[in-house]
Structure 1
Amino acid sequence: MGPPKNAVRSISQEAFDEVVKENVDDLGMDPTEALQDAIQTLTLQGVDLSGIVTCVPGEGSVKDNPVIHCLDRLNQLNAGPSNQIADETVELLNKLTELCNSKGSGNAAIASRNGGVEIICSICSKVQKGCEHAIVSALKALAFLLHDLQSRETFRASDGPKLVVGIITDGFENIDILSSGFAVIAAAATGNEVLKELFVELKIEELILRVLSVKREASIQSVYDAIWVLLTPDDNRVLASQVFGYARKFAKIGIARALVDSIRAGLSSSSLVSASIALKAVAVNDEICTSISENGGVDAVLVCIDDSSEQGNKTVAKVCCSLLCKLAGSDANKTAIVEKKGMDRLIKLSARFFDDPSVLQEIMAVISVLSLRSPENAARAIEAGAGELALQAMQKFPAAQQMQKNSCLMIRNLVARNAANRTLLLNSGVEKHIRVAKQNHVSCKEAATDALRDLGLDDYNV
């Protein structure tokens, strides 16, 4: 069997340098031209050059690269006595973090390709208690280096999961260790089913619950990030992810309830976004969604939606609507949301952000779920103003494909079991906007057809 289509080819630093050298020696190119030609030729051939140090011959060497220099010196220091971490080590780790945090520099790839993950894991394994500053610096650097499949596999081969979980457990009282440690877990588990499984085998859910319960006032965002990464099926190498089972395990021991408590306690905007995404990742079935509501989750999310409207925070508005949509999948929660004037609050939110179709589409998604198979809720939605929202939004944003599609889906659920709504929406003139969406956007065709059919129109397939 040959290599898969679109497979990425790799090249060593030595082979790359040799290509540049041949351009100079055999083709007579000047050094700058030789370098650019090598980069262009290899890129066209589908060679992955990430992590390759590209320098003009005669103007420096690979060893002069600041990332390589950091790694070489860290390696030398790491070879010293295992119970000593020099101040220089910490300075170098901080420098490496700074270099790898430079967007577009490719430094993280250079570092991981040249042994950075192995070096830092080795340093972490040697640091003694009392050197928390060194551990924090090492973990911060490591989180940046775990940027692709290869670096994460190197982390796994270096026994990284067990190492980091041990560091977090031993350094539980240090907020910086918790924050940087869970940042490493989030980075490592991204797109890697094997590492997710290893962390779960290490009972990471118990450690997460302990942090959420004991350190709630600290609001450690990386803990929320780690939860949703661990529960996201994002590894395209596997046919069946195990994250659904992990989510049920997380909920069973109380993580969903702890997340609700965190959201109710009041978080910064960025932490609230991460916590909401984490809670949505845990809410994988009706039982969990219902338990979240019973523990005050619906109330907490509705308050956050109100606050996002008052503060003009579109990001929080979208994320909280997305979470509410997931919770509304439970029929019991549908009733609770409507009884708490959820429809009115959503329409109020739409008025606040009517200039942004990305917010409107999330609001429509919630109303659509609330109205599904419920003529009473559909009637309540129309009373709140869902019909006007659909008409005005479709008219104002004809090019917003996802919003147009969500509007069609919402209209269908509003009228499918409610004849009165059918008449009201047809009289409003919404039909022509549905037909425009169907004609202009392939992604809207099915939803628009269904909306026209459930509006009672015979020519819905035209």
Structure 2
Amino acid sequence: MVRVVSQETFDEVVKENMEEFDMSPEEAVQDAVQQFEAQGVDLSNIVKEAAMSDIPDASRSKLTSSLDNIAKLMKEPAEKEKIIIEELRTVKDECDKSIANKVFAGSLGAYSMLIDVLESFNSVNEVASEALSTVTALMSGNPDLLDKRGREIIINYLDNQKNVDIQKKVLEWAKVCCIKHEQNRQDLFGMKILIRLKTLLHSDTAPVIVRQVCGVARALVLDDDIRVQFGKSHDHARDIALEILCTLTDLLKKFKGDKETVSDVILTLTALIVRNEFCQMVDEAGGIIFIMDVFVNCPDSEKLNRLCLNLVKGLAGNDDVKARIVKQGIAPLIISAMHRHESSARLVGAGCAAIAALSLRNPVNSKALCAAGAPDVILQGMKIHAEDSSVQKQGSWAVRNLVSHDKTLCQSFMKLGAEDILRTAVKVHSLNCDFDAKAALRDLGCDIE
């Protein structure tokens, strides 16, 4: 298991270096990093600059003053909403400047104070909205602060708030709490946040809420916290898919004219189709037809086309769905999208990955893709992006899968110079795609060592 330390422990060592050994903040941080790395501790979860005491005096003063003022105002019964809003904005602006400011604000009790404000002003939308923005700024990249009170407020606001702006900001807060924090994900899931997410996806949901729900759903299935050996990303993805997968697929049709919302929904579907039956559900709900419509109706949107290619790759994990995708005529649309956006390494890589997935152990699909022009678009993409190891790797797998079960297709690749392109990939990217390119060369019938 990876050895890790908490932010608090790291900060204590830095503080000790400064106080006992009279080091500057920079020297103290550097020495602490060397100490922990020598012990084999992974510090990728640690914010090094947060321990440094070089926060400008103006920022320190503003944070201290504003938090003190909020604390005083909370004890006064008189009208104070406007003043609290101004102080909250100051705290938010300072937290947005750096992680160091967030940690300093946290050390002054900012989190507990903001929770108090959210509890006291839950029916005053202007104050609640600003407090939510501020707590999100405080906890973005600093999610360890979330506690039981915070989780209860998230759930309570989702249950009772009908104001779209408030709903949006609560979901933003929930999302930042889940990024790089497995325990927060599990705790929120245990408090049945999924039921609230599903409830928000009703027929007249605002597009911004759909996007925020999608963002939270994707955050809940992340596996990015190195402090835990085993997370529950797959379990969360399974449970979320069972509840909202078909609803999300239906929303694709409802918001088909809204590229931003469609992009978020496609991203979320791709993150959730972790099992065979989920691919089947998306197919049966009309997901493949919608993807084909995107290729036809939004040909110039590189982002949408790329996201659709990623979803195609995911859906091709189900062999039955994979066969139906190609039967419905998607091959020419994939090839056209790759030609149109051949200057985008990310899209070319996604296209090659989709072709590789569709042709894996399926010679019928391989023949259809090659007839549509796959050899030309794959090799052209590999030539244009010769310096991109990801394109070379995905392109190699696409070549290999297309020809591995139908050797009659090899000739079309060889005529287009596949051997030279693949040998160049081996030479230039030996560390990243040596095996992949050699496997493609082997299946093309070329001599390899």
TM-score w.r.t. the length of structure 1 is 0.85
Pair 262,97 (structure 1): closer, same or farther in 2 beyond 3 Å: farther
User: Which residue number corresponds to residue 202 of structure 1?
Assistant: 191
For the 8 Å contact 1:124–1:135, the answer to whether it is kept is yes
Shift of 1:373: 0.7
CA distance in 2, matches of 1:305, 1:241: 36
Which residue of structure 2 aligns with residue 155 of structure 1?
146
User: 1:445 Cα deviation (Å)?
Assistant: 0.7
Kindly provide the amino acid, as one letter, of the partner of residue 271 in structure 1: T
**Structure 2 CA distance for partners of 1:121 and 1:392, relative to 1, 3 Å:** same
Structure 1 residues without counterparts, runs of 5 or longer: 24-36
The Cα shift of 1:263 comes to: 2.1
Aligned to 1:108: 102
SS at match of 1:187: helix
Distance 1:192 1:383, change over 3 A: same
1:171-227, Cα deviation, whole Å (9 max, x unpaired): 0x2101110000011000111111111111121111111111244343322211100
Per-residue CA deviation, residues 132-179 of structure 1 (Å, 9 max, x unaligned), is 22111111111111134xx423212x52112111112110x2101110
Pairing 1:181–2:176 present: no
Per the alignment, residue 50 of structure 1 pairs with: 50
CA distance in 1, matches of 2:216, 2:80: 29
Q: Aligned partner of 1:257: which letter? A: C
Show the 5 A alignment for 1:436-447: 436-441=424-429, 442-447=431-436
Q: After TM superposition, what 4+ stretches of structure 1 lie above 6 angstroms from structure 2?
A: 5-8
Give 1:119's aligned residue. 113
| Contact kept in structure 1, 2:18 and 2:24, CA below 8 Å | no
C-alpha distance in structure 1 between counterparts of 2:204 and 2:106, whole Å: 32
Separation in 2, partners of 1:110, 1:187: 18
Please say if 1:369 is aligned against 2:357.
Answer: yes
| 2:387 is aligned with 1:394 | no
1:233-266 CA distance string (max 9 Å, x none): 222222222121222222222x111211222222
Q: Which residue of 2 aligns with 1:454?
A: 443
**1:306 Cα deviation from its structure 2 partner:** 3.5
- Aligned counterpart, 1:289: 279
Q: Report the CA distance shift for 1:17/1:434 in structure 2 as closer, same or farther (over 3 A).
A: closer
The equivalent of 1:26 in structure 2 is: none
Give yes or no for contact 1:438–1:449 (8 Å, CA) kept in 2: yes
The 3-state SS of whatever aligns with 1:117 is helix
> Which residue is equivalent to 2:179?
190
- Asked whether 1:72 is paired with 2:75, we answer no
Shift of 1:432: 1.3
**1:270 maps to which of 257, 260, 264:** 260
In structure 2, relative to structure 1, the CA distance for the partners of 1:43 and 1:78 (3 Å cut) is same
Q: Residue 34 of structure 1 aligns with which residue?
A: none
Matching of residue 132 in structure 1 with residue 125 in structure 2: yes
Per the alignment, residue 97 of structure 1 pairs with: 92
Deviation at 1:423, TM superposition (A): 2.3
- State the partner residue of 1:27: none
Would you say 1:243 and 2:233 are equivalent positions? yes
Task: Give me the whole-angstrom Cα distance separating, in 2, the residues matched to 1:68 and 1:301.
Answer: 52
Identity of aligned residues (%): 20
Do structure 1's residue 227 and structure 2's residue 217 form an aligned pair?
A: yes
- Pair 261,108 (structure 1): closer, same or farther in 2 beyond 3 Å: farther
Using the alignment, how far apart are the partners of 1:383 and 1:62 within structure 2?
63
Cα distance, 1:334–1:452 mapped onto 2, change above 3 Å: same
Q: 2:112 is paired with a residue of what secondary structure? A: helix
Separation in 1, partners of 2:338, 2:270: 22
User: Is residue 146 of structure 1 aligned with residue 135 of structure 2?
Assistant: no
Deviations 1:53-73 (A, max 9, x none): 5368xxx58752x22322222
- Tell whether the 8 Å contact from 1:97 to 1:144 is kept in structure 2 after alignment: yes
Structure 1 residues 415-462: Cα deviation after superposition (integer angstroms, max 9, x where no partner): 0101211222223321111111012112111111211121123x22x2
1:18 Cα offset (Å): 7.4
Aligned residue number for residue 33 of structure 1: none
Shift of residue 285, structure 1, vs aligned partner: 0.4
1:282 shift after superposition: 1.5
* Aligned-pair Cα RMSD in Å: 2.8
1:419 aligns with 2:407: yes
